[in-house]
Amino acid sequence: CEKLDLQPISSTSLLEDEVYSTYDGYLGVLAKCYASFVLQGQGDGDVDISKNGGRSTFNRALYYLQECPTDEVLFHSSSGNGTWTMITMNWNPATEIVGNMYYRLWISVALCNEFIRKTEKDVMEEYGVYNEAKNDVGQWRAEARFLRAYCYYLLCDLYGSVGWVDDSSPNGTYPVQKTRTEIFNYVESELLDIEDQLMPADKKVFGRVNQVAAWFALSRLYLNGEIYTKKDYNEQAYIYSKKVIDNSNFSLAPNYIENFLKDNDGSPEIIWAQPHDADNSQSSGGTNFLIKYSSHKFMINQGLELGITNDSPWNINGRLKTNLVNKFDLDDQPFDPSDPWCDNKKDKRALFYGGPLTGDQSKSPVQPHLKETWREGKSFEKNITLGYTFTKWRNVTKDRMSGEEQRESYVSVAYPMFRKADAYLMAAEAILRGGGGSRTEALNYVNEVRNRAYNSGNYFSSKNIANGAISDNELNLDFILDERARELWTECVRRTDLIRFNKFTKGYNWDWKGQETSNNTDHEGKDVDDKYNLYPIPQDDILYNPNLTQNPDYM
């Protein structure tokens, strides 16, 4: 039967033996575990998640879930996958966009499980690479376990009680369902277990995680722990976020925007960076998505330098809600064409684009922008003149080099998964929630972030217009929630934050929230059912994995 034992012959196909017979082969599989958080697939049209192309990339999928149903962003185009459903918060188990993140996370889990299985000592000995790799394999395994744990954290945060499977079962095993608390406990135990096996805190390699990333992940896990387990974890949240803050290997970048530019691989602030590269790591998600979906070729042709070729933009499909824009000082809100880098704003984080377009508009339907995403008496419109878009993310270096020759079709801006500024705000919040530490300490943490935003205090520069520091009497939990919006908008934490503050479904409403339709002329938000605090498990997985039960009220 030799004649029937045919093996893949394509140059892009490899057999297990070929992959695992070299050190670099192992590294390539680990790189895939990471790349699953950045790229859609292996290139040449290949997509890890077969049905959803760019929308299935990790950060873009997460963005739809963490940003759309909040006070931050808005999508105009309904492209058949459920973005409107996100805006109006009436998704269901069949909503395509709800499933993208779920499947992306599970693929990452499966990839990590496989890597962990293949890095068992006896397996590596069989492939003959153990000796060469034995000094590194411990760290590799810890990295894969970190990535897997972070996926389970997100599954826990987004979907609640989900399936569970680890490397002890062979590929093909269906996950069995665990409670949300069990998933939480598993993530916690994994992160604590690998904490000391990861790359030490004083080292860093761009694109990979070290010990500090584990501390950061634990901070985020603990800060939200009560939501997942009904148990208070603020003390641990404080301890671990303080560990991040006290680590001197990472520090806030002198200017806020430097974290979101082409050369942000040099930013000292980013603890876990997801690399994008115009030539070597092309993704339709992540920063490529953020820059293109929020821009239009008119913006580039009229002088706003985003570092992308003018056929790249996706026609301003993504906008900001006025609820976010209004969290900034009124003076900081409008866009000033003569100040495209927002140097003349008090808060340098108000990186909005709006206001009048210049140039010849005689043949163009484009009219001056409005801050509002709707026009009085009109329905939700697919019109680029409505709503502000943003320029926080740019494929330009911090020396603001620009010009046509520097424009790229894809972008080279890394996406900051974990950023130290977030650790300051987490620590401050944990303190205010009674996790330990002092109020003064909390105020200092918040002001560290604000001074950097205003180029004041320790971060003073010639661009300073006003002092960003707040006084003790301004500091409270609600302020922190707003400050998190100002600091971290479009960074995929908003939904989790609102839930932690019990403001996601009820008690705080933003444009379009709870409307039955995106076409309604009434854009005023209203309360929604509490079931929306969790996303449903995609209907397909309920169907194809008989071990699973749907989240309450989605059945």
Nearer to another protein, 375 or 503 (CB): 375
Nearer to another protein, 91 or 489 (CB): 91
Nearer to another protein, 81 or 373 (CB): 81
Nearer to another protein, 78 or 467 (CB): 78
**Which secondary structure element, helix H or strand E, spans residue 477, and what is its range?**
helix 477-488
Cα angle for residues 422, 67, 389 (degrees, 5° grid): 100
* Residue 113: CB minimum distance to another protein, A: 8
**Residue holding tokens 């205003």?**
454
* Residue 88: CB minimum distance to another protein, A: 8
* Residue 169: CB minimum distance to another protein, A: 9
Cα 352 to Cα 354: distance, rounded to the nearest angstrom: 7
- Give the burial string for 190-226 (b: 16+ CB within 10 Å, else e): bbeebbebbbebeebeebbbbbbbbbbbbbbbbbbbe
* Residue 163: CB minimum distance to another protein, A: 6
* Residue 144: CB minimum distance to another protein, A: 13
Cα 379 to Cα 545: distance, rounded to the nearest angstrom: 41
Nearer to another protein, 137 or 423 (CB): 137
Nearer to another protein, 314 or 501 (CB): 314
Strand partners, 319: 74
Q: For residue 380, what are the CA distances in angstroms to 79, 184, 294?
A: 14, 39, 17
* Residue 359: CB minimum distance to another protein, A: 9
* Residue 318: CB minimum distance to another protein, A: 12
SS3 465: coil
Cα 103 to Cα 175: distance, rounded to the nearest angstrom: 13
Of 333, 336, 331, the closest CA to residue 323 belongs to: 333
Kindly report the length of the chain.
555
Nearer to another protein, 224 or 317 (CB): 317
In this structure, what token pair is assigned to residue 249? 């290997």
In this structure, what token pair is assigned to residue 310? 């003018």
